[in-house]
């Protein structure tokens, strides 16, 4: 069977990662969460004191970029890849609210994007990959055989993030999460470097009212159309 490249883009918290991970597992492809890479850079910058009160020391971060090594390792228990920053498992920490609140400005920096996109292109050289993010179908893999653009309403997305954090035992406030979702949408769609937008040849999926099972069926039918089989 032909092993294609699948690019999944869309707004924050619309379930792209879960969808991409499950799809990759189902069809035996490699999954890469490109957002995790921007989150790991943000964690590094925060730990090193390169972000203070939301202000990024861009020059210092640019100089330290070479000290940031991001890798993924498949976790047999969760059946999903975990993110490592310089060899340290940071999967949990990069999903916390402080990182979510600081990641969009970091991801908007052109030198950060350039470095991450280079790594992402390398990871996808062989095909047989599902990558999710904001610019995968437009910048990272403009020739991907299947491009999906995912949307859902702001409230549905904030509720999903709220449930996720609550399940982990994090204390959180729905209003704050909704504000964070809207703020990230704004930064992601208005930044100069590779803003979030639907690629002309992407198929749109609004999953506000869809069950996981319906979504999975829809995704598999899209893959089947591109590969001729599963």
Side-chain half-sphere of 32: how many Cα atoms within 13 Å?
25
CA 108, 5, 206, 138 torsion-angle sign? positive
The residue within the footprint of ligand DC, chosen from 12, 83, 138, 207 (CB under 6 A), is 12
| Contact pick of 21, 39, 80, 161 for ligand DC (by CB under 6 A) | 39
How far apart (Å, rounded) are the C-alpha atoms in residues 137 and 101?
Answer: 25
- The answer to the question of residue 34 lying near ligand DC (CB under 6 A) is yes
- Residue with Cβ nearer ligand DC (136 or 158): 136
Structure-token match 């062989």, residue found: 126
Instruction: State in angstroms the smallest separation of the CB of 158 from ligand DC.
Output: 13
Nearer CB in complex with ligand DC: 81/217: 81
Largest CA distance in the chain: 51
For ligand DC, which is the closer residue by CB, 8 or 223?
8
Question: Taking the complex as a whole, how short is the minimal distance between the CB of residue 89 and ligand DC, in angstroms?
Answer: 17
Q: Which of 107, 148, 152, 202 binds ligand DC (CB under 6 A)?
A: 107
**Residue 225 phi, psi (nearest 5):** -60, -35
CA–CA dist 23, 14 (Å, integer): 15
Q: Which residues bind ligand DC (CB under 6 A)?
A: 12, 34-35, 38-39, 103-104, 107, 133-136, 184, 188
């Amino acid at each position: 069977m032909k092993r294609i490249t699948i690019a999944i883009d869309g707004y924050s918290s619309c379930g792209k990662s879960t969808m991409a991970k499950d799809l990759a597992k189902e069809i035996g492809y490699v999954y890469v969460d490109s957002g995790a890479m921007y989150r790991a850079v943000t964690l590094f910058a925060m730990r090193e004191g390169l972000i203070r009160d939301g202000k990024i020391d861009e020059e210092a971060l640019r100089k330290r970029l070479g000290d940031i090594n991001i890798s993924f390792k498949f976790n047999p228990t969760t059946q999903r890849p975990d993110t490592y920053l310089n060899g340290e498992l940071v999967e949990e920490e990069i999903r916390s609210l402080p990182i979510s609140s600081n990641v969009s400005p970091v991801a908007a920096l052109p030198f950060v994007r350039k470095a991450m996109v280079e790594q992402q292109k390398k990871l996808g050289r062989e095909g047989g990959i599902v990558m999710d993010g904001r610019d995968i179908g437009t910048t990272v893999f403009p020739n991907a055989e299947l491009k999906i653009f995912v949307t859902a309403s702001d409230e549905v997305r904030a509720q999903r993030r709220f449930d996720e954090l609550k399940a982990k035992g994090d204390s959180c406030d729905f209003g704050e999460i909704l504000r964070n979702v809207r703020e990230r949408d704004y930064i992601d769609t208005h930044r100069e470097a590779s803003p979030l937008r639907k690629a002309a040849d992407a198929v749109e999926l609004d999953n506000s009212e869809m069950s996981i099972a319906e979504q999975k069926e829809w995704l598999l039918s899209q893959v089947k159309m591109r590969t001729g089989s599963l």
